[in-house]
């Protein structure tokens, strides 16, 4: 009796699962839902009209969404990028940030990428007076988070700059390794 009941339950589950799969295929097919409120996904870094964005970084520099590679530190704006002669947080001074004080229109926010996470708070003692003097808001983050913050704020159309130092320590996961292999594979296939 118990075996018969279990067979009925398993048969019902299989029949129900087949119906759910059929219903899901119907809902996920192209054009299944084109009404108002349809959810869409845009990959910001592929939208060239949004301006420059940071696709990746390494210990030697940055890769932008227009396939440009910037070696070393950089100051990036939504439409342009400049090399920045700063190699660590100790070199960030009012003089190294002086370009940002003469820009028109004035910056909404400056995102500073410190490379690796900073434990030394003396860096903040230098940048806070600069921020107050020139009335430039700033966000100081490790470079990994600073890149994402810059991309997001830039995509919102904010008047933003990123002053970014490449990190010295990186965590590499399997996705990073796979992306690198695919990029090199595509590079060699084009020739």
Contact yes or no for 45/68 (Cβ under 8 A): no
Length of the chain, in residues: 191
Gyration radius from the chain CA atoms: 25
Three-state DSSP at 152 gives helix
- Mean per-residue pLDDT for 4-28? 43
Domain boundaries, the chain: 1-40, 46-174
pLDDT tens by residue, 122-136: 888 888 999 999 999
Residue 167 in this model has a pLDDT that exceeds 50: yes
pTM exceeding the 0.75 threshold for the entire prediction: no
| Whether 159 contacts 107, CB under 8 Å | yes
46-174: what CATH class? alpha beta
Residue 136 and residue 100: Cα distance in Å, rounded? 9
Distance CA 162, CA 151 (A): 9
d(CA 49, CA 115): 28
In the DSSP assignment, the letter for residue 71 is E
Q: Report pLDDT digits (tens) over 175-185.
A: 778 888 887 88
């Amino acid at each position: 009796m118990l075996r018969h009941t279990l067979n009925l339950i398993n048969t019902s589950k299989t029949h129900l699962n087949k119906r759910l799969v059929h219903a899901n295929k119907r809902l996920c097919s192209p054009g299944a839902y084109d009404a108002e409120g349809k959810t869409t996904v845009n990959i910001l870094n592929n939208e060239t009209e949004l301006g420059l964005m940071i696709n990746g970084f390494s210990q030697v520099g940055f890769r932008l969404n227009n396939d440009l590679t910037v070696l070393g530190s950089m100051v990036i704006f939504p439409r342009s990028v400049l090399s920045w002669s700063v190699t660590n947080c100790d070199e960030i001074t009012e003089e190294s940030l002086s370009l940002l004080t003469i820009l028109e229109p004035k910056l909404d926010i400056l995102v500073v990428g410190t490379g690796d996470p900073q434990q030394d708070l003396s860096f903040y003692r230098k940048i806070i007076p600069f921020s107050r003097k020139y009335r430039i808001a700033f966000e100081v983050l490790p470079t990994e988070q600073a890149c994402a913050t810059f991309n997001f704020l830039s995509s919102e159309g904010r008047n933003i700059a990123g002053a970014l130092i490449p990190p010295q320590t990186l965590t590499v996961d399997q996705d990073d390794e796979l992306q690198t292999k695919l990029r090199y594979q595509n590079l060699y296939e084009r020739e």
